[in-house]
Chains A and B, each alone.
Chain A
Amino acid sequence: MTKENNTRKLVVPGEVIVSGEDYLPGDFTRKEGGEIIAGKYGLADINGRVVKIISVSGIFEPRRGNNILGRVTDLAFSGWMIDIDGPYSAFLPIMESPRFVNKNNLHEFANIGDVINAKILSVRRGSVDLTLKGRGLGKLEGGRIIKINPNKVPRVIGKEGSMVNLIKDKTQTEITIGQNGYIWINGDIEGMKKAEDAINLVAKESTSSGLTEIIEKFLEGKK
């Protein structure tokens, strides 16, 4: 993610990114005549023939396979309703819990207000289905939740998790990042506070070059 071999240009909707028949429209772009036109405000990224836009703002758009953190808002007849802070509400069916849960005792596994780390199983119009089957998924215990702009999540994770591992090591905390911008931190008070500040700094400085050095400096600094 941090590799920038080509400079990305900031584009607004309607702007022509490239022209020529060599290019194909990707996410948030369309082709009109021989021109690739931006459909959203963001950074235009040309990768081979495909032109796409990387969002810099806006809400979380659920995609299949995303790991997310969500809050249980309701216990339904056959599962849990989960708030994932996206455009649609999400549903976690009872069948997708990692162990057997009695239909009449849904609250014993997860009650209203609890936070779960889940994976998106499918996205259909107006509804998102979740699953807890997978490594590291399940209800979260201890620690606390913070929220960042979901478009900054790739920066917080870093290239192959380099950024989040750096923060974890230096602050001695456990961190789980959801693609929807919710981040769970667990550790001692100072560590959690420091990790939170570091994550917010990453989100704020996400466009700066040498981000890793800035964060390293910050984490070394006040200890």
Chain B
Amino acid sequence: MEISNLNKQAIANLLKEDKRLDGRGRFDYRDLTIETNVSNNAEGSARVRLGKTEVIVGVKLGVQEPYPDHEDEGTMMTSMEFSPICGKRYESGPPRMNAIETARVIDRGIRESGFIDWKKLCIKEGEKVWSIAVDIYCINDDGNVLDAGAIASVVALKMAKFPVYDEEQGAVKYGEFTDTPLPLTENVPFTMTFHKIGDKVFIDPDRDEEDTSEARVTFAVSKPKKEKIINAMQKGKIDSVSADELIQMIEASEKLYDEMFPEIEKQIKGLIKA
């Protein structure tokens, strides 16, 4: 059953008093758990759980010809799949609008932050460069797949190790890994999506809240030096967002970056050691 008017009303009424059904505040994320190296075949992989939402990301590396306008730079492709396993509303088939949008927003957050050093992915200028494929699979959709997917993508990229490249044959030997990680920089992007119901802005909606939400704005924030930078933004859904609300979101996004980012770092570090 799709969301009923009763549940929409209940969520909206609660939010007017800054309350939510599961007892969270407006700017609280659900519990985040990260697992890494969940796939044997992928060069890097991660599973992220945000409450009941679950996303798996696999990073594959390949070799291809560079694009003619970026002859000395590697390439990246992001794809997203909502298979029927993740919710009743999804059916198999080519990616729909929301899957394409989610993948592109995540892609943009990573690309524009300068997280990946593209020049170092070049093998031979104009002829061969590494290409990164980031495949995002939603396992369970309980809202906010975008943020979970973005976190998982970043973690999977961090975990990725180059496969062995046979220069004579010009082919990648899959299954044999080197110890070299991807050429990543310090500009780690963190993507967060704000939703709006009535005049209240909040983050990390569950399924019902996401269905009730009237507008959403996604920010991809990174912190290259001391200052935080917004690398990418995306507005979705039908309602408008006022200047005041946008400022509210930007201020909250800075705070959330400081809150969530150390948490993610901590979890990844714990996993690398283990």
Total interface residues in chain A, CB < 8 Å: 20
Partner of A144, one of B6, B19, B23: B6
- Provide the residues of chain A in CB contact with B7, threshold 8 Å: 144-145
Question: Counting CB contacts under 8 A, is A98 at the interface?
Answer: no
A71-B1, A83-B1, A182-B1 in contact; A145/B19 too (CB < 8 A)? no
B88 (CB) vs chain A CBs: closest residue: A85
A193-B21, A193-B23 in contact; A114/B5 too (CB < 8 A)? yes
B interface, size bucket: 10 to 19
A143 (CB) vs chain B CBs: closest residue: B6
A113 (CB) vs chain B CBs: closest residue: B5
Question: Counting CB contacts under 8 A, is A140 at the interface?
Answer: yes
- Provide the residues of chain A in CB contact with B244, threshold 8 Å: none
Q: How far is the CB of B268 from chain A (nearest CB, A)?
A: 33
- Provide the residues of chain A in CB contact with B168, threshold 8 Å: none
Question: Counting CB contacts under 8 A, is A33 at the interface?
Answer: no
Instruction: List which A84-119 residues lie within 8 A (CB) of chain B.
Output: 85, 111, 113-115
Question: Counting CB contacts under 8 A, is B119 at the interface?
Answer: no
Contact across chains for A113 and B8 when beta carbons are under 8 A apart: yes
Question: Counting CB contacts under 8 A, is A142 at the interface?
Answer: yes
Contact across chains for B4 and A113 when beta carbons are under 8 A apart: yes
Question: Counting CB contacts under 8 A, is B2 at the interface?
Answer: yes
Question: Counting CB contacts under 8 A, is B38 at the interface?
Answer: no
- Provide the residues of chain A in CB contact with B10, threshold 8 Å: 143-144
Question: Counting CB contacts under 8 A, is B77 at the interface?
Answer: no
Q: How far is the CB of B1 from chain A (nearest CB, A)?
A: 5
Question: Counting CB contacts under 8 A, is B14 at the interface?
Answer: yes
Counting chain B CB atoms within 10 Å of each CB, the highest count among A85, A115, A140, A145 belongs to A145
Question: Counting CB contacts under 8 A, is A9 at the interface?
Answer: no
Instruction: List which A136-153 residues lie within 8 A (CB) of chain B.
Output: 140-145, 147
Instruction: List which A112-170 residues lie within 8 A (CB) of chain B.
Output: 113-115, 140-145, 147
CA distance A49 to B183 in the complex (A): 73
CA distance A101 to B4 in the complex (A): 22
Contact across chains for B19 and A115 when beta carbons are under 8 A apart: no
Question: Counting CB contacts under 8 A, is A189 at the interface?
Answer: yes
Q: How far is the CB of A91 from chain B (nearest CB, A)?
A: 16
Instruction: List which A164-207 residues lie within 8 A (CB) of chain B.
Output: 182, 184, 189, 193
Pairs A–B under 8 Å by Cβ, sample size 5:
A73-B2, A114-B6, A115-B4, A143-B6, A144-B4
Cβ-closest 6 pairs across A and B: A144-B10, A113-B5, A115-B4, A144-B7, A71-B1, A85-B1
Give B residues with C-beta under 8 Å from A.
1-10, 14, 19, 21, 23
- Given A144-B6, A144-B9, A145-B1, list of 4 further CB < 8 A pairs? A85-B1, A114-B4, A144-B10, A193-B21
